[in-house]
Amino acid sequence: MEEVRIDKWMWATRIFKTRTIASEACKKNRIMVGGTTVKSSRMVKKGDVIQVRKPPVTYSFKVLALTDKRMGAKLVSQFLENITPPDQYEILELNRISGFVNRAKGTGRPTKKDRRELEQFSSPDIIPDNMAGDGFDFDFDFDTDD
């Protein structure tokens, strides 16, 4: 076997859960080989470097061997090498701990608990006494008599 379709190879090496998801990623221009986006019918060879964009991270894999049959997770390391730069993993970690809650589309309105957590996160803990009125602790004197 000298060449395999890229969507089949990514499914077989467990980069994507299904072959359909792998081909959809190709259609959405999230798969690149050699810096150019590819279609799902693109053939992969040994030594190719595949970049997979799963926002916010771009993973990079080097093809070590070819297969079109799905395998167990323990065997994946024989077929690909993860060459993703460490800064991409830092982006992933920062995104995870940033505190931003990304609500999935269609999940509806935030619950009362969600609203309280958002208010607690965005509001200051202590409001100084001098900020209670107009926000100034002195009076402006506007004299128009010159």
Per-domain boundaries in the chain: 4-87
Read off the pTM. Answer: 0.65
> In a 10 Å sphere around its CB, with 0-12 CB exposed, 13-18 middle and 19+ buried, how is residue 53 labelled?
middle
Q: What are the E-state strand segments in the chain?
A: 4-5, 31-33, 36-37, 43-44, 49-54, 57-63, 80-82
Average pLDDT estimate for 35-48: 93
Query: Taking phi first (over 0 means left), then psi (-120 to 50 degrees means alpha), and beta for anything else, what does residue 106 get?
Result: left
Distance CA 90, CA 126 (A): 33
**The domain made up of 4-87 is a member of CATH 3.30.70.100:** no
The strand pairing partners of 62, in sequence order, are: 49, 81
- Per-residue pLDDT of 61-109, as tens digits, reads 999 999 999 999 999 999 999 999 989 888 888 777 765 556 676 777 8
Looking at the chain, how many residues does it have? 146
Cα angle: 46, vertex 52, 58; to 5 degrees: 125
